[in-house]
Structure 1
Amino acid sequence: MLDSTLFLFMMIGLLGIGSQWVAWRFQWPSIVVMSVVGLLAGPIFGFMNPEENFAGLYEPIISVAVAIILFEGSLKLSFREIKGMERSVLRIVTLGAFLGWILGSFAAHYVAGLSWAVSFVIGGLLIVTGPTVVLPMLRQAKLKPRPASILKWEGIIVDPLGALLAVFSYEIIRFLVLEEVGMSELLLFILVSGFAILLGWLLGWCIAWMFKHGHIPEFLKSPIVFVVVIFCFTIPNEIMHETGLLSVTAMGITMANLQISSINDMRHFKENISVLLISTIFIMLTASLSLDTLISMLEINILFYVVLMLFIVRPLSIWISTIQTELSVRERILVGWIAPRGIVALTVSGYFASVLVDEGFTDASILVPLTFGLVFATVVAHGFSITWLAQKLGMAAKEKPGILIVGSNHFTVKFASTLRDLDIPVLITESSWNRVQLAKQNDFKKVYYGEILAEKTEYRLDMTPYDKLLAGTELDSYNALVCTNFMAEFGRSNVYQLSLKSNEEGHLNDIAHTNHGTILFEEGMSWDALIKRMEDGFYFKTEELSESYSLEDYKAMLPEEAVMILIQKKEGEVQFFTIENSLEGHPGDRVLSLVPRS
């Protein structure tokens, strides 16, 4: 086992981020990969045990990381996102959570064999899903906005509620069983919960007010928010365990709905931090489990309990709670199946296992293997099935990824029409009404009228079906701004813009030295050059490569003034020609070029 704390930190980071990369590379659920890697490094091979190595720092590290992850997730909870789905979300996070608690408690008692007292604690705890496991799955599956929003809201809202239900159940148990615990303990729990919500709202409002009035400089915004989040979590949590989760969630939701102009910049930064934290925390938690815990997971009562929670408790609680709501049958089936448990369930179950055993409830020793059994089963079952089930139910975006084009003009409209003919999903966005009409007059109807950089576009425009963005307006500065803004969402290698007008005078020359998208086509093929070719009668032409007709043969036969646009691989993937790359063609690939008329 490792003795150096610094080396252990390094290894946890490498294993966590390495697991994320492997998951991305092979299109596997990242949570599953991290869980397996943590188990291999910890209880199976005994390479590390972070709980022992970090000693007193282990629990604070986990708690602060969970608080930051939960806050970052709650920053995405704008009420505008669930417009038209308010009833469904409210019913799921209230009635659905309550039914899940009651049914889960009965299952814990009658199937897992736990006492009623311990059953109600674990029943409340295991209703949580949480952003640590839900959000990576949503990114993987590319769900349509409605089911994705519902799962996201449920995961983030129910996370602290589940922990609070467990605390509430524990306080009730102590009140009923222990003579020295009186009604004042229950009142304290209610007061602290209310205080936690109030503190979170107040801090969120204060930070938003300071942001809006310029009382915090840009370089201090993220550091100050981080410190305030830790403060917001710690103060209620020191008074009563787990109430800090409620406080940071209230703070995040408050900030998400106060229309702070810089919230998107902070959100991208915090998303990167959350990926790092989720990776390291999952490695730490799974590596800290004992071999006895893993063996206990295979006991027949635990296996039956996990099956019951997967196939009866969750689907039934969602199905009943969403009766006569806006959700369709297919959406209810999908939401009723997807409920992966994560970090909060693991951390809080460990805490309650120890305190309940100390109070004399010896059967609580089974809580950790029971919880991890459900966590591992749900992340594997739901992680590998969400994409397949979403596609079967029609709840996923089109299987073939598409292209989002910014700017409507003679080049982009003809290009979009050609992509459509190649069966590639494509959408044009344009803020000018006259240019929108240009697209429609040229028989291209799939146009979004609105400013792509406006905050409201995030809620009105579903970008899920598109994995590439092309900025094709006449303004280099605007194209660069659009690409920079969407790099975090699409990935740096998937945002493109037209060639910069580096030969012109003025400030546009400076763009070549700033952030921008990958430059398309050949050097100097700017907006003006492309529009000039369209006016001269150039048109888009597609040719298929074969064994006897290679890409080199194709290039040799192209007119000198032609522009090579892209290659559509035989599997459907689109690869653009840029000033930086050198694409390879294979038999069955189709090459698209802009060529002059004969």
Structure 2
Amino acid sequence: MASLDSVSIAILLGAVLVMAGILSSLLALRFGAPLLLFFLFIGMVAGEAGPGGLRFDDVHTTYVVGSVALALILFDGGLKTRFQAIRAVLAPSMVLATIGVLLTALITAPVAKYALDLNWTQALLTGAVVASTDAAAVFLLVHAQGLRLRPRVGATLEVESGTNDPFAVFLTLTLVKLLSLGDASAGHVAMEFIQEAVLGTLIGVVGGRLVVLAMNRVALPQGLHAPFVCTAALVIFGLAQIAHASGFLAVYLAGIIIGNRPTRAHNSVVTFLDAATWLAQIVMFVMLGLLVSPERLVGSIIPAVGVALVLMFVARPVAVFLCLQPFRFNWREKMFVSWVGLRGAVAIFLASIPMLVGLPKASLYFDVAFVVVIISLLFQGWTLAFAARKLHVALPRTDRGPRRIELDLPGQLEQQLVGYAVRPKSLYLKRNLIPSWSKPTLVIRDERILTPAEAEPVTAGDYIYLLAPPEKAEALDRFFVDMPPSTAPDPHLLGDFMVSGEITLGDLAAIYGIAVDPAQASLTLADYFDIHLDHAPTVGAALPIDSIDLVARSLGGGRVNVVGLRLPEDEDPAPPKLTRRQALKGKLKRGWTTLSGA
């Protein structure tokens, strides 16, 4: 009976832990604190050295659970990555994910060698264990602290965090083999890396396409799509690992393929994986707390702190500045990318590998990883929003997104039904604006279902449902939140080829001689951006209109308030008279004189 009681107690404690994890997500969003440290503390309290007295030294289980957790975390990151977002930052992200990880490990190694009394291979292994950033930790804290990163910076961090884990795993495993089996030639290591990368890419791409095909062809019962996709991700991971390919690269690429193709129940899959990755992080941190030994830490905590500080203030910044030097990042962006090198579940997973194979000083690597994760979450995690504001790379979110309802429509994959409550100060209600790619379908008012024509005019408190492409559903949010106060455009930005966002298309057409749709003549330029962009307006966003491009130069209150007028490139290299560009330039200057004198 005692054994049955122990099983019941284990079930109770496990359920309480999962419940605490679910509720803690609310605290994370409310306070923006790195609550993963709370679960680390739970593990330490429950462990052998704490009041719980639970003896846990099963490194094999830690490795298995860590592999599954990291695979799901990477798959989730790939699923949310859009091709359009990463295309412009693919090169710098890949350099950071490979050369950046190697440089970070190399710069950290000398400190580890002399501070921890290791040989060079052991020191490099220490650097490799803590060299990669953690995608889940980075974006959990960015979201929790209410930050909206500039698109280029956010996309770079997203792709780097997702793609540097496979290289860090490869580097760690290679060094573990060197320490356990002896020396290997540089050529052998290079060939092994190429084999893992190529096979991992092939398995990930093919596996992702097969999952998309299965989801769209097989009529699964409602509710089983998300478990099917998660299981398929682990199948892809396992097949790649068995084939001696990079399973982590394969599962990340499979996520990208699935996330960028129309599939059934896409939003339910994303929601399910959000919960799964959050719980995976919690399990990893509880296990870290269970495995750590405070008595063992006493002798290594000071040099481990030294390694952590060098990693944060020297190795990571040097690697980032060198890797991003060929690309057009300013020093503020480089500083922020350097500071957002958070360590989390990945370091825990990598630190368990030397312990699994029984390397000498294996516990030392684990202790160093423990200290690095603690310091990274404490210092970098809690100062993320402060650093973003000081370096001007992000704007704090002033409002929470509206509650969005998404319903898949059986029989097709191109459109879904997206629903919102209509707020009194929303852009939709105040300006009657809606994107050109969405279509109002029904309105619910006083528990009655109406067509848009029957409900005209839509009023505050109604619920409106629109047809929209699944990949653009999130972009509808900005039309159904309360509009922040608009701000006047900066007068220093107005001048030649710069106009206010409140000028209408009709005025622009009359003065500059461009053709506009008569039905849109009363729209302001700010309205035009809201309607035709498939994402929230950002500085630099451009839209064509007749023979010129409208470019967003400044934002205020979440909308475009200064617009630049950009001329197209000449098609004829050297016409005998005025070029088309010169003629348009003269027309624009005359138009600006008319506008500014009005």
Compute the TM-score of the two structures, normalised by the length of structure 2. Answer: 0.64
Is 1:292 paired with 2:277?
no
Match of 2:205 in 1: 201
Aligned to 1:157: 163
Q: Which residue of 2 aligns with 1:310?
A: 312
8 Å CA contact retained: 2:204, 2:236: yes
- Which TM-score applies when normalising by structure 1? 0.64
Q: 1:10 to 1:342 in 2, by over 3 A?
A: same
Note if 1:280 corresponds to 2:283: yes
**Deviations 1:21-42, CA, capped at 9 Å, x for gaps:** 4444444222233333333333
Moved more, 9-18 or 375-384: 9-18
Per-residue CA deviation, residues 398-448 of structure 1 (Å, 9 max, x unaligned), is 464377799xxxxx99x64xxxxxxxxxx7369xxxx9xx67xxxxxxx78
Which residue identity does 1:74 align to in structure 2? G
State the partner residue of 1:45: 50
Counterpart Cα distance in 2 of 1:174 and 1:102: 20
- Counterpart residue identity of residue 304, structure 1: G
Q: Secondary structure at the match of 1:397?
A: strand
Offset of residue 384 of structure 1: 0.5
Query: How far apart are 1:341 and its partner, in Å?
Result: 0.9
Contact 1:23–1:29 (Cα < 8 Å) also in 2: yes
Give, in whole Å, the separation in 2 of the partners of 1:92 and 1:274: 24
**SS across alignment from 2:132:** coil
Pairing 1:191–2:195 present? yes
Match for residue 369 of structure 2? 371
> Which of 4, 17, 22 in structure 2 is aligned with 1:12?
17
| CA deviation vs aligned residue, 1:89-148 (integer Å, no higher than 9, x gap) | 233223322322321233322443321111222222322222231121121231323322
CA-to-partner distance for each residue in 1:568-590, whole Å, 9 max, x for gaps?
A: xxxxxxxxxxxxxxxxxxxxxxx
Aligned to 1:512: none
State yes or no: 1:390 paired with 2:388.
yes
Deviates more, 1:37-46 or 1:302-311: 37-46
Instruction: State yes or no: 1:320 paired with 2:289.
Output: no
Deviating beyond 6 angstroms after TM superposition, the runs of 4 or more aligned structure 1 residues are: 181-186, 402-406, 474-478, 494-497
Contact 2:201 2:249 survives alignment (8 Å): yes
Which residue of 2 is the match for residue 251 of structure 1? Answer: 254
- Give the alignment of 1:403-422 within 5 angstroms: 416=425
Aligned to 1:571: none
Matched-pair contact (CA < 8 Å) for 1:429–1:448: yes
Query: Does residue 234 of the first structure (1) align with residue 232 of the second (2)?
Result: no
* Residue in structure 2 matched with residue 329 of structure 1 by the alignment: 331
Matched residue SS, 2:280: helix
Cα-to-partner distance string for 1:482-501 (whole Å, 9 max, x where unaligned): 99x99x989x9x9889xxxx
Closer/same/farther in 2, CA of residues 297 and 134 from structure 1, 3 Å limit: farther
Aligned to 1:223: 227
Judged with a 3 Å threshold, the aligned counterparts in structure 2 of structure 1 residues 481 and 158 are, in CA distance, closer, same or farther, namely same
Gap runs ≥5 in structure 2: 405-421, 441-456, 483-598
User: What per-residue deviation string (whole Å, max 9, x for no partner) do you get for residues 489-519 of structure 1?
Assistant: 89x9x9889xxxxxxxxxxxxxxxxxxxxxx
Whether contact under 8 Å (1:50, 1:58) holds in the other structure is no
Q: Whole-Å Cα distance in 2 between the matches of residues 324 and 158 of structure 1?
A: 19
Residue 105 of structure 2, aligned match among 91, 98, 101: 101
Relative to 1, partners in 2 of residues 1:243 and 1:330: Cα closer, same or farther, differing over 3 Å?
same
Query: Structure 1 residues 201, 393: closer, same or farther in 2, change over 3 A?
Result: same
Deviates most, 328-337 or 38-47: 38-47
Q: 1:479 to 1:90 in 2, by over 3 A?
A: same
- Map 1:416-455; keep pairs closer than 5 Å: 416=425, 428=427, 449-451=435-437
Provide structure 1 residue ranges, at least 5 long, that are not aligned to the other structure.
407-411, 417-426, 440-446, 455-471, 498-598
RMSD between superposed Cα atoms in Å: 4.3
In structure 2, the CA distance between the partners of 1:479 and 1:448, relative to structure 1 (3 Å rule), is: closer
In the alignment, structure 1 residue 134 sits paired with structure 2 residue 134? no
State the 1:81 CA deviation.
1.1
Q: Provide closer, same or farther for how the CA distance between residues 384 and 173 of structure 1 changes in structure 2, counting only shifts above 3 A.
A: same
The equivalent residue for 2:593 is: none
2:464 counterpart SS class = helix
Using the aligned pairs only, state the percent identity: 21
Indicate if the aligned counterparts of 2:76 and 2:277 stay in contact, CA closer than 8 A.
Answer: yes
**Cα distance change of structure 1 residues 321 and 290 upon mapping to structure 2, 3 Å threshold:** same
Question: 78, 81, 92: which is aligned to 2:96?
Answer: 92
Q: SS of 2:298's equivalent?
A: helix
Checking the alignment, whether the CA contact within 8 Å between 1:404 and 1:428 is kept in structure 2 is no
The aligned runs of 1:60-139 (5 Å cut-off) are 60-139=64-143
Report what 1:547 is aligned to. Answer: none
- Indicate the SS of the match to 1:143: strand
Distance 1:205 1:336 in 2: 35
What do residues 33-76 of structure 1 show as CA deviations (whole Å, max 9, x unaligned)? Answer: 33333333335524164745x78644433322222122112211
Change (3 A) 1:239 1:285: farther
Equivalent residues in 2 for 1:489-528, closer than 5 Å: none
Structure 1 residue corresponding to 2:36, chosen from 15, 27, 31 = 31
Query: In the aligned structure 1, how far is the partner of 2:222 from the partner of 2:160?
Result: 32
CA distance in structure 2 between the aligned counterparts of 1:60 and 1:96, rounded to whole angstroms: 27
Contact 2:148–2:397 (Cα < 8 Å) also in 1: no
Q: Which secondary structure state, in structure 1, belongs to the residue aligned with residue 88 of structure 2?
A: coil
Kept in 2, the 8 Å contact 1:112–1:301? The answer is yes
Is the alpha carbon distance of 1:387 and 1:346 closer, same or farther for their aligned partners in structure 2, counting shifts above 3 Å?
A: same
In 1, distance between residues paired with 2:403 and 2:30? Answer: 27
Which of 266, 270, 276 in structure 2 is aligned with 1:267? Answer: 270
464, 472, 477: which one aligns with 1:479: 464
User: For residues 239 and 213 of structure 1, what CA distance do their matches in structure 2 show?
Assistant: 28
Aligned pair in 2 of structure 1 residues 259, 295: CA closer, same or farther (>3 Å)?
farther
